[in-house]
Chain A
Amino acid sequence: MIPTLQRPPPSMRTSMPGGAAGRTLMGLLLILWFTLPMIPVALWAVAGRWHAPAVLPQTYSWEGWSSAASSGLFPALLASALLGAGVAILATPLGFMAAVSIRRLPRRYARPVEGILLAPLAIPPFALVMGMNVVLLRAHVPAAAGVLLLLVVTALPYTVFMFRSALAGYDDRFEEAARSLGASKAQSIRHVRLPLLTAATSRAAFLAFLVGWGDYIVTLIVGGGQLRTLPMTLASAASATGNEQLTAVLSLTVVLPPLALLTALLLTRRHGRIR
């Protein structure tokens, strides 16, 4: 997800106006901008007593975590993880197949097909869900399956896009070179195409996982309250007052696992895979 950065030339470095001091200040401001909202979350997660005028917590404790555990943190964690994994497992291969077939279609048909596949991005998720909810109820689809189905549809644009851009940068001549070096069709797929597309696959799966892991609106409307995922628990905590500790703890449990996953993805990439 982080684009590879080249060493910027000095002309670029001196392009930032404001001199060395200004540049440092701007860097600090940007880092502050991106981290600021998560600072109170981190503090509240370990705060015990933290009454109004105090800038920092007066006492620290794990209270928030124990109250989260007692209010169903672990089942919610499991439900979210399963939902995320389910979406990733379904949407990744579907996205790959869609991207490959778009690539093979003549341009005239490829355009509209791609448009349809990317359409869920253009439709507000709540509208999509409200419309589909009626259909799902009529068809007697169980709530959990309905949620999964809708989230796969929501995730598809991302996975298709990931594979589309990976395939756009992918040169078929790699495989042709492999064939001319004596690899069979299967071998060229196994030893050339798959390794070259690993990065795109992991990125697509990560995005699809995020769609399931962090979803609120689909679970809310289609799940009908039966599916207690982490965001559902968090939303009920955050919408009421006086739940700062619980909100913070739940926020961290939602945020940290994907970040760990992202770091792991980046670290494996650094070990010499082609992007």
Chain B
Amino acid sequence: MSPGPATPPFTGPATFTLEPWTSNAGGLARSAAVSLYIAAASTLLACTVGFAAAAYILAMPRAGRLVAAVSAATIPIPHLIGAGAVGLLLSDAGFLARILGMPDGGFPTFVGGPFWSAVIFEYAWKESAFVALVIVGSLARSVGGLCVSLYIAAASTLLACTVGFAAAAYILAMPRAGRLVAAVSAATIPIPHLIGAGAVGLLLSDAGFLARILGMPDGGFPTFVGGPFWSAVIFEYAWKESAFVALVIVGSLARSVGGLCDAAATLGAAPLQRITHVVLPLALPALAVSGLIVFVYTLGSYEVPWLLGRISPEALPVRAVRLFGSIDLDSRPQAMATALVSVMAGAVAIIGGLILLRRLRGLR
């Protein structure tokens, strides 16, 4: 509600009317739409460019520093100056038109044009620097962790899928011994990763069981636990998840693979060819699904890298939980940012994995 048209302003009895809303409703709506359009387009562009810049800054150590400096430099420039500069750049006879050699006609009207291009460009230019620096600021510390986590997840998944497929092939092929392998692999499924990590610690540590069996308790034995390659962590994941992969494959193939192998044999496929041309392609969808599950799980699991990993660089989950439990109040938001990074990495992995899976189905 706004005050109506009163002859002397702010005197006399107040009357109320919707006149200012309705008299020029079209213009009001149009202005609102234009503002919304400018805001949306600028935000979209700023976020896209900002994200690209952030990714570049994080990925390239030297050139990234330069990009960071330049983008930081644009932050203190007021929008008024920015608008002036963009005007000089984009107007009909501006700098860009002269460079492109089309000062009169031909050059699209950016400044004051129908799409508000110059306005959107100005906002996008200045705010992309802001977006980039915010992203870099929140991610810089997590990126090391992200790389470590991705490395662990990728290595574990690869190993788990390889061993899991071998175990599945064995279980499917061997009538008696296969049953035993199926039983021991099923028995590892209910073991929590925490217990697995503890057990692998007892097995692989400097003075652990393996070092004793191999007879090199002091020195000589490579540092698996807390070592530079995260070997103990990867071994634990591969151990437990290979059982999972094996059982998923066996479950998906048990019914069909026998007959198809018979058919392949009568068609002249030698033993190894049956594995590579029949069992493996048939197992591929199950292998891909279980591999994706293993990858996402290992990316976000805390216990194993915490017990068996290195302190620096930290895996993402370990860093997040440590910061979350820290007494320092500032570290809470950092913990949340780290958690968000690992959620996003997981989401990207899942989306990528699903696209890959669809391809795989399309191939069949």
Residues of chain A touching chain B, judged by Cβ–Cβ distance below 8 Å, are 1-9, 11-17, 23-24, 26-27, 30-31, 33-41, 43-44, 52-55, 121-127, 130-131, 210, 213-217, 220-221, 231, 234-235, 237-239, 244, 247-248, 250-251, 254-255, 258-259, 262
A-B pairs with beta carbons under 8 A, tally: 239
- How near does chain B come to A48, taking the closest CB pair, in angstroms? 16
- Decide: A17 and B271 in contact? CB cutoff 8 A: yes
Residue B258 CB within 8 A of the other chain:
yes
Q: Which of A3, A31, A220, A231 contacts B181 (CB 8 A)?
A: A31
Q: How long is the Cα–Cα vector from A146 to B339 in the complex, in angstroms?
A: 20
Residue B336 CB within 8 A of the other chain:
yes
Residues of chain B within 8 A (CB-CB) of A35 are 184
Q: How long is the Cα–Cα vector from A239 to B311 in the complex, in angstroms?
A: 13
Q: How long is the Cα–Cα vector from A220 to B318 in the complex, in angstroms?
A: 13
Give the contact-size bracket for chain B. 35 or more
Within 8 A of A (CB), among B186-231: 186-192, 194-203, 207-209, 212-213, 215, 217-218
- Decide: A33 and B274 in contact? CB cutoff 8 A: no
- Decide: A40 and B189 in contact? CB cutoff 8 A: no
Q: Which of A2, A43, A210 has the most CB of B within 10 A?
A: A2
Q: How long is the Cα–Cα vector from A213 to B173 in the complex, in angstroms?
A: 35
- Decide: A217 and B174 in contact? CB cutoff 8 A: no
Residue B36 CB within 8 A of the other chain:
no
Q: How long is the Cα–Cα vector from A36 to B210 in the complex, in angstroms?
A: 10
Q: Which residue of B lies closest to A43 (CB)?
A: B209
A259-B190 contact given A16-B271, A37-B196, A235-B303, CB 8 Å threshold: yes
- Decide: B261 and A12 in contact? CB cutoff 8 A: yes
Q: Which residue of B lies closest to A34 (CB)?
A: B184
- How near does chain A come to B307, taking the closest CB pair, in angstroms? 6
Residue B123 CB within 8 A of the other chain:
no
A16-B174 contact given A2-B182, A122-B346, CB 8 Å threshold: yes
Residue B363 CB within 8 A of the other chain:
no
Q: How long is the Cα–Cα vector from A219 to B303 in the complex, in angstroms?
A: 12
- Decide: B215 and A231 in contact? CB cutoff 8 A: no
A15-B274 contact given A30-B167, A53-B215, A127-B340, CB 8 Å threshold: yes
Residue B299 CB within 8 A of the other chain:
yes
Q: How long is the Cα–Cα vector from A6 to B260 in the complex, in angstroms?
A: 14
- Decide: A217 and B321 in contact? CB cutoff 8 A: yes
- Decide: A124 and B261 in contact? CB cutoff 8 A: no
A123-B181 contact given A9-B258, A41-B202, A255-B191, CB 8 Å threshold: no
Within 8 A of A (CB), among B293-331: 293, 296, 299-303, 306-307, 317, 320-321, 324-325
Q: With A6-B254, A38-B199 given, name 14 new contacts (CB 8 A).
A: A6-B258, A12-B173, A15-B279, A27-B180, A37-B199, A41-B202, A53-B215, A55-B215, A124-B299, A130-B339, A131-B336, A215-B192, A234-B195, A258-B190
Residue B275 CB within 8 A of the other chain:
yes
Residues of chain A within 8 A (CB-CB) of B296 are 121-122
Residues of chain A within 8 A (CB-CB) of B217 are 52-53
Q: Which residue of A lies closest to B266 (CB)?
A: A11
Residue B243 CB within 8 A of the other chain:
yes
Q: Which residue of A lies closest to B343 (CB)?
A: A127
- Decide: B258 and A131 in contact? CB cutoff 8 A: no
A255-B190 contact given A40-B202, A130-B336, A234-B195, CB 8 Å threshold: yes
